[in-house]
Structure 1
Amino acid sequence: MSFAYHAYEAVHMMVSPVRGVSDAMHLAFKNPANPLTYTPFGRTVAASCELFERMTRRYGKPAFGLDETTMNGVKVAVEERVVWERPFCKLVYFDRKIPSSRRKPQPKVLLVAPMSGHYATLLRGTVEAFLPGHEVYITDWVDARLVPLSEGRFDLDDYIDYVIGMLQMLGPDTHVMAICQPSVPVIAAVARMEAESDPCAPRSMTLMGGPIDTRRSPTAVNQLAMERGTDWFRRNCITVVPFPSLGAFRQVYPGFMQLSGFMAMNIDRHVTAHYDMFKHLVSGDGDSAEKHRDFYDEYLAVMDLTAEFYLQTVDTVFVQHALPKGEMMHRDKPVDLTAIRRVALMTVEGENDDISGVGQTKAAHDLCVNIPADKRVHYLQPKVGHYGVFNGSRFRAEIQPRISDFMVSLDMEAAKDRRDDSAKEQRKALKVVG
């Protein structure tokens, strides 16, 4: 077991005095009363201090900050409410304050956020895009370092249980969306619900940039897992949360380690971005510097994952390929994707995705053989990477409208079926009376 967490905490504590000096210098050279503030030298010192502070800071969980949305040209207030809660997850509902007289039926969407090191707020743009025309719920996963040992374990099986529990609470007219990592547990949850003839199975599932079959177009992430194997990750990536955190002594895969891996994949891009921010600060380009702050405030905020969840996911998804081989189990029962018959399926991939390669998500169509052809959609978005699959301008303009149309058409079909069934019942009743 690695003691990287203790080393990380020790370094953070040792740097604290230097951070204090740097903060004081930053304030001094940003003070309007200081003549040097307005000189190139003063701006350079202030910019250097801010970059040092940001590079050595521990970033806390960001807020969604979605206080309003626009519906039919009218601004509507939005309130976040927790409607379901377990030790490792809260289900957040974005309640749009619409008068009951103006409410119209709209698709109910459960966004299953990735539990892969970042907070659910990484999907802020995804939520924002769906809010005007959908009832939106999102899984807000809890940082494992904040969950006491007394709350027990949390592994991939528990994740599937959580998804099933949320779908049962929301009801059968729900559309579930899995973004990246949750694609596997979500499709597994749907398969288990269908196998048990659960009436609360969702109306549709949308899988976006997910590792359904990582043998297809393997990326550097996939190849690393295959080459190293699960035991290597157990020896080198698992550590213990240090005291006095609430989750002290819990074994975790720390978020800072995941973040280091992600940044190492594109280190040149991150170095250039920080250098550009430095130049923006020196030149007084506040707008560009603020865009950098907004992005990295989110990107550098990370959470820990329980060791058992991380290792089981690595082994099941990336090493054993248990799902596409038909060997995945949930508890003591098989995850049989051929059991899925009623739930519609949409898959979305990005042409330049370097995390989940092209074809890995689309593989779900080959595995869910009993879903009718008219309830299947696949879309490949050109010119986007992994992040662009669920956020950004192309997501808003090209991907989100397609997903929304898919959900709306299914809701309309279900409403028509209900009307037809009602008409049949009425005709039967009239025949009996006659």
Structure 2
Amino acid sequence: MWYAWVEAQRNLLRAAGAWAALGAGAWGWPALIGADWLAPMLQPRPEVPPFGIASVTIGRRRIPVAERIADSTPFCALRHFAREPGSLPPTRRRPSPDILICAPLAGHHAVMLRETVEAFLQNGDVYLTDWTDARDVPLSAGGFGLDDYVLVIERFLRRFGGKRIHVVAVCQATAPTLAALALLASEGAMPAASLTLMGGPIDTRLNPTDLARFAQSHSVDWFRRNLIDTVPPPYAGAGRRVYPAYCQQAAIAAAYPKHQMELEADYWSSQAKADTEGVARSLRQMGEYAAVLDMDEHYFLDTLQVIFQEQLLARGTWQVKGRDVRPGALSSIALCTVEGARDNVTGAQQTHAAHALCSGIAERRRLGLTIADCDHYGLFMGPTLRNQIHPAVTQFWRAAH
């Protein structure tokens, strides 16, 4: 398709941007207002923005946060954001459950969930699945399908041993995370105290959105022919067939223009008010939103078929590497589902459908939240997350245990 041509174009833009910056510096030209907004468009960023969570505020204290890689596979890194115990307020120093946030592999890098990580650092140490851009995974690492995704989550869950943790899965990650926990429960193992599913396609038969209808109206072979491309050199994954990031950028811009426009409006509003902190915040958010990745062909097509076309999880017929996925085996876990009333990515009741599947969980250990005036992105960033969703989930954890 177009991968090599798109990369050549980007390299030319980067070179032009570098020369422009060099020329401006040589002549001592002052920076124009909005130059930091325009530059990334003319000189695409080669790097994913860092999480940059150096500290969080708990009570009236700034608590240092250290970030490290706790575990990894060729396709995913498990990031650990650890609070400094000695800096916590005395009332927060008793051991608290860790939180595992399962980020979606649906186009954006995991840095899109930076605000979610910050919010749940109020509760304990946070672990986050950070999926690798498929263009950077060599062919020697093998393929990566939806079953492999489930096994990665299962591996990360097992590493907690006997510790009881809170698991939070966002968007696309909800179905494979539920599957991984169901597989463990079928073996008699249950490392999680609770599972929170946020805006994810558990049952896409219910109130399908435009995205789901598009996925259901084309064959897997159509997607393979029209949307799959091959990673070119010099990337480590050269030769790997992927659903490329450049296709996803175009699809996201076309399907969800409002969110991009809101980010742009926030930037220019901050510029007009000479709000330097607001400008920096807007630039960071735009960088995170623009950070997209390639997805392995097998994973992308598997997701279309298993989740959107055949709804195997919802129908109770999903098998992962020959093992039956039985959500009804979950019993000692608390289940919370969260939906946005204005979510146009995941349809109404698609996430709440998990309650019917998880029939072994007692009613007192369940909660279904529908957040008024909340779109898809509001579920994991912004004031709705901070002021409504995070407090409600925290209260649910306390009540359930």
TM-score greater than 0.5 by the shorter chain? yes
- Superposed CA deviations along residues 22-44 of structure 1, whole A, max 9, x for unmatched, are 43565578735xxxx7xxxxx4x
Deviation at 1:20, TM superposition (A): 4.3
Aligned residues: 397
| Matches of 2:314 and 2:174, distance apart in 1 | 13
The question of whether the paired residues in 1 share the 8 Å contact of 2:197 and 2:338 is answered with yes
**1:91 and 1:196 mapped to 2: Cα distance?**
24
Structure 1 residues 148 and 98, CA gap change in structure 2 (3 angstroms)? same
Within 5 A, what are the aligned runs for 1:245-264? 245-264=235-254
Partner of 2:307: 317
> Aligned pair 1:197/2:188, yes or no?
yes
Which residue of 35, 38, 41 maps to 1:54? 41
Matched, 1:221 2:219: no
Q: 1:235 is matched with which residue?
A: 225
Change (3 A) 1:339 1:352: same
**Which segment is superposed worse, 392-401 or 284-293?**
284-293
Partner Cα distance (1:17, 1:129) in 2: 39
Q: Secondary structure of 2:349's match?
A: coil
Structure 2 counterpart SS, 1:7 = helix
- 1:272 to partner: Cα distance: 7.8
Which structure's CA Rg is the greater one? 1
Once the two structures are superposed, the pairs formed by residues 145-160 of structure 1 within 5 Å of their partners are 145-160=135-150
Equivalent-residue separation in structure 1 for 2:4 and 2:134 (angstroms): 16
* Greater fraction of residues in helix: 1
Q: Taking structure 1 as reference, are residues 227 and 28 closer, same or farther at Cα in structure 2, changes over 3 Å only?
A: farther
Query: Does structure 1 conserve the Cα–Cα contact (< 8 Å) formed by 2:70 and 2:78?
Result: yes
Q: Which residue of 2 aligns with 1:405?
A: 395
Structural mapping, 1:161-176, within 5 Å: 161-172=151-162, 173-176=164-167
Name the residue aligned to 1:11.
Answer: 9
Q: Hey, what's the Cα distance between the residues in 2 that align with 1:139 and 1:61?
A: 15
Out of 288-297 and 383-392, give the one that drifted further.
Answer: 288-297
| Secondary structure of the corresponding residue to residue 236 of structure 1 | helix
* Deviation per residue, 1:42-70 (Å, 9 max, x gap): x4xx7479626425513521111111122
Letter of the 1:182 partner, please give it.
A
Which moved further from structure 2: 183-192 or 164-173? 164-173
The change in CA–CA distance for 1:359 and 1:271 in structure 2 (over 3 A counts) is closer
Name segments (4+ residues, structure 1) moved above 4 Å. 24-30, 46-50, 271-289
RMSD of equivalent CA atoms: 2.6
Match of 2:363 among 373, 377, 386: 373
Quick one: percent identity of the two aligned structures?
35
TM-score by length of 2: 0.91
Note closer, same or farther for the CA distance 1:297–1:158 as it changes in structure 2 (3 Å cut).
same
2:234 aligned with 1:244: yes
Residue aligning to 2:173: 182
Checking the alignment, whether the CA contact within 8 Å between 1:110 and 1:176 is kept in structure 2 is yes
1:158 Cα shift? Answer: 1.0
Q: Aligned in 2, Cα 1:268/1:22: closer, same or farther, shift over 3 Å?
A: farther
Report Cα offsets for 1:265-307 as digits up to 9, x if no partner: 1336646865885797699775554443222111111111111
Q: Distance in 1 between matches of 2:336 and 2:127?
A: 19
Alpha-carbon distance between aligned partners in 2 of 1:378 and 1:74, rounded to the nearest angstrom: 33
Cα distance in structure 1, aligned partners of 2:26 and 2:278: 23
Looking at structure 2, the residues matched to 53 and 159 of structure 1 have their Cα atoms a distance apart, in angstroms, of 32
Tell me if 1:206 matches 2:196: yes
Instruction: Mark the CA change 1:26 to 1:228 in structure 2 (over 3 Å): closer, same or farther.
Output: farther
Q: Does 1:89 align with 2:76?
A: yes
Query: Alpha-carbon deviations, 1:117-175, whole Å to 9, x = none?
Result: 21111111111111122221111111111111111121111111111111111134011
Name the aligned partner's letter for residue 75 of structure 1: R
When residues 111 and 283 of structure 1 are mapped into structure 2, their CA distance, relative to the original with a 3 A threshold, is closer
* Code of the aligned partner of 1:207: L
Tell me how far apart the structure 2 counterparts of residues 229 and 201 of structure 1 sit (CA, whole Å): 38
Aligned position for 1:388: 378
| 263-272 or 154-163, which deviates more | 263-272
Provide the residue aligned with 2:60 in structure 1: 73
Q: For structure 1, which runs of at least 5 residues remain unmatched after alignment?
A: 38-42, 414-434
SS at match of 1:170: coil
2:85 pairs with one of 94, 98, 109: 98
Whole-angstrom CA distance in 2 between matches of 1:6 and 1:209: 35
Q: Which residue of 2 aligns with 1:127?
A: 117
Q: Is the 8 A contact 2:107 2:293 kept in 1?
A: yes
Cα pair 2:13 2:42 within 8 Å, conserved: no
CA contact (8 A) 2:14 2:42 kept: no
Structure 1 letter corresponding to 2:84: K
* CA displacement at 1:79 relative to structure 2: 0.6
Equivalent residue in structure 1 for 2:98, among 92, 105, 108? 108
Structure 2: 5+ residue runs without aligned partners?
none
CA distance in 1, matches of 2:266, 2:398: 43
Q: CA separation in 2, counterparts of 1:180 and 1:53?
A: 27
2:63–2:87 Cα contact (<8 Å) kept: no
Aligned to 1:362: 352
